[in-house]
Each structure stands twice: as structure tokens, then as C-alpha cells.
Amino acid sequence: MRRLLTFTLSLLALGLSANAAEPIKVGEYASLTGKEATFGQSSHKGTVLAIEEANAAGGVLGRPLQLVAEDNQSKPGESGTIATKLITREKVVALLGEVASSRSIEAAIVAQRYRIPLISPSSTNPKVTEIGDYIFRVCFIDPFQGTALAKFAHGHLKAKRVAIVTSVSSAYSVGLAKYFREQFLADGGTIVLEQKYAEGDKDFKAQLTAIKATAPDAIFVPGYYTEAALICKQARDLGLTIPLFGGDGWEAPELISIGGAAVEGTYYSTHYSPESPSPAVKDFIKRFQARWSGETPDAMAALGYDSALVLVDAIRRAGTTEPAKLRDAIAATRNLEGVSGRTTIDAQRNASKPAVIVEVRNGSFRFVQAVEP
């Protein structure tokens, strides 16, 4: 009898410890392939590094973390389906992603419906977190980025007359164009012409010819790198030598590999520069390079890393993965030290961080200035 009891107890203990070591599943939806593959790849590598480091340090609540990542192929309409699958089938405790705002909005609608916390690393359109109280981000938002770019156009480029080329199928592009326009006009500038395109377009000659006729001082392209690089090329082909500039959507090695000489002397704003003298950044670059065959982390990698850091910290503080408590803990994040700066989640579930202006020079991205919030 006594033996049996000991045996049962040890079985129980075994069961308990197996249960205690059950991994905490974290979902990630990302553009790992397709038109914005570098966004998803970079963000994913940062996220993986943060999760692996947390596991190496003993996991959270005595349990290891398990990242379940799914590829939306950069396509519209995939992220909602993936979010549903990760929540209902994989039973993830939270979702991390995306970079592109339109895709974050799709997944956020699902996460909010199931009341599962979602943290976007780098989607900057205000609508993302407006979806509901379970939706967070660890980056600045476009009213700030648009204002910073308008000030840069006036101050650094000395531009008074600017033309804009907007991607009408991207929430990010439409929003960033709007916030830029508001500030640029408020500061006494003129928007000479606004032209439109859709994601995936390849020929921008008609828009650029119309812009050329208005003789602007500069062209603002609030889109993603594939189209931005083609726009720069075609503008140069048409004999436009004025500066072109964009937002964080320009950040990818492809801007240079597609744009070549045409993107020399262009500028964009982003979240982080690997040239930063911050010891936290220097150390992050070392760890990232050791993990990912020498690759230098970009803004998406830094923010992907920080999104996971915020989640891990919140699970630890919540002491549970129960969604409502985890949501409250994420909302209570204050001054969490990461690679993109300190994350404090505000009442609108956004973060506020400095922006960085980068110039393309001699085929590489060079830090120009930081813009404080």
C-alpha cells in the first residue's frame, strides 16, 4: 500500500513536472516570402533571437517558450486566416506581428475578437491599435513619422514645393501621406501634385511625367521598398534629379539592389540605426550576427526583438498566460529597456520612440539625424 502510494505520488510529480515544462506557445505571422519578404525575415530573426535568449535564461514561469511562425506571403487576406489558426488550433497565448500595417490590421481584428493579445513590432498606422484593447505596438506611429519627415523636407532639403506618390492599397502609405501633408502645409509648404499607384505596380512613368511638369523641389514616396526603388529609377530615367525621400517602408537591402545609382542621395526615416553608439545596440548587433551568419540587424529586426521582449516581460509580471491578465500586464509596460530604446505603452497602446533619418550614400545606409518625439 505504502509502495503503491509512493509510486502514485512519483507518477503525479512526474506528471506535474511534465506539465510545468509544457511550452508556452507564442504565435507569429510574418511576410517570410513574397513582395515584402525582407520585412518578415528581419522581424522574424529578431523575434527568434529574443525567444531563444529567454529560453536560454530558463524560460518564463518555469516553462520554455515555443514560437509558432506562419508565412502570409506578403499577400492581403492571409493574416486573418493565420491568426485564427494560431489562436484556435495552436492555442497561442499571444500574437507577434506584422510589419506592414494593412496586414497587422487584418490579424488584429481576429485577435481582438478572440481577446488574445497582439503586439505589432513595427506597424505605424494609427488604425492598428485602434482595433481594440488587446492590440499593442512597440514603435512610434505615423502622425509622428509624417511630422518628422515634413520638418526634414523643410529644414534639411530646403524644399518648399513637394510632390507625393501614394500607394492607395496600403493603409500605411495613405496615412503617412496624410500626416506629412498636414504638417508640410502647416509649415507653409506647397504640395504641387499627388499621384497614386497600387501595390505591385511596376510602371510609374505616367505619374512621374505629370510630376515633372510641376517642377517640384522634392518627391515624397510613402510606400514600400520595391515600388520606391522603381519610382526612383524611373524618375532618374525621366531626367528628374531632385531628391526623393520616404518613410520606414523604404528600409530593405533591395532598395539599393533594385534602385542602384538611382537611390543615391535619397533619404528615409526609420526606427533605429545600426550605427548608433548605444552599448545596447552594439551588443545586440554582436548577438544577432552570431546567430544569423554575420547579418547586420535592421529596424525590423530590432523591433521584432523588442516585441518579444515586451511579451516575455509581461508574462513574467502577469505570473500567468491567462489572456486578460496578460493584456493588462502588456498595457502596464513602462520603460522596458530594449534595442529600439525604452518601451512604455501609452493609453492608446502605442509606444513613443525617436525616429532616425538615413541617407543612401555609396551603396549603403548612413545615419543623418535622430528626431526626438
CB of 92 to ligand PHE, least distance (A): 22
Q: What are phi and psi of 217, to 5 degrees?
A: -85, -25
Q: How far apart are CA 268 and CA 152, in angstroms?
A: 10
Nearer to ligand PHE among residue 24 and residue 252 (C-beta): 252
122 binds ligand PHE (CB under 6 A): yes
DSSP labels, 271-307? S--TT---HHHHHHHHHHHHHTTTPPP-HHHHHHHHH
Stretch that binds ligand PHE, among 160-168, 228-236, 245-253, 356-364 (CB under 6 A): 245-253
Determine which residue in the list 71, 199, 227, 248 makes contact with ligand PHE, applying CB under 6 A: 248
Here the cell at position 252 is 530593405
Residue nearest ligand PHE, CB atom distance: 172
Among 31, 74, 124, 183, binds ligand PHE (CB under 6 A): 124
**Toward ligand PHE, which CB reaches closer, 97 or 117?**
97
Rounded CA separation 268/245 (Å): 5
Binding pattern to ligand PHE, positions 27-66, x when CB under 6 A?
A: ------------x---------------------------
Nearest distance from residue 223's CB to ligand PHE, in Å?
A: 9
- Site membership for ligand PHE, residue 259 (CB under 6 A): no
Residue from 92, 98, 81 nearest 116 by CA: 92
Question: CB-wise, 30 or 211, nearer to ligand PHE?
Answer: 30
Question: Considering just the CA atoms, what is the radius of gyration of the chain in Å?
Answer: 22
Q: Residue 198 Cβ, how far from ligand PHE at the closest point, in Å?
A: 15
Distance CA 341, CA 350 (A): 14
273 Cβ neighbours under 8 A, 6+ residues apart: 356, 358, 365, 367
Residue count (the chain): 373
The one among 134, 140, 144, 172 contacting ligand PHE by CB under 6 A: 172
Cis amide linkage into residue 130, ω under 30° from 0: no
**Closest alpha carbon to 329 in 341, 315, 339:** 315
Residue 266: CB minimum distance to ligand PHE, A? 15
Closer by beta carbon to ligand PHE, 124 or else 321: 124
Number of residues located near ligand PHE, criterion CB under 6 A: 16
Residue 351 DSSP SS3? coil
Q: How far is the CB of 217 from ligand PHE (least distance, A)?
A: 25
Binding track over 290-319 against ligand PHE, x by CB under 6 A: ---------xx-------------------
Q: Which three cell numbers mark 302? A: 530590432
The answer to whether the beta carbons of residues 168 and 198 sit under 8 Å apart is: yes
Q: Which residues between 178 and 207 bind ligand PHE (CB under 6 A)?
A: none
Q: Report if residue 99 touches ligand PHE, rule: CB under 6 A.
A: yes
DSSP, res 126? T
Residue 70 near residue 85 (C-beta atoms within 8 A): yes
Which of 47, 101, 166, 333 touches ligand PHE by CB under 6 A?
A: 101
Hey, what's the torsion of the CAs at 142, 254, 360, 76, to 10 degrees? -10
- Least separation in angstroms between CB 235 and ligand PHE: 21
Cβ closest to ligand PHE, residue 190 vs residue 369: 369
CA angle, residues 38, 344, 286, in degrees to nearest 5: 45
Of the residues 70, 71, 106, 251, which one makes contact with ligand PHE according to CB under 6 A: 251
CA separation for the pair 179, 189 (Å, rounded): 14
Which of 31, 123, 166, 234 binds ligand PHE (CB under 6 A)? It is: 123
**Interface ranges with ligand PHE (CB under 6 A):** 39, 99-101, 122-125, 172, 248-249, 251, 270-271, 299-300
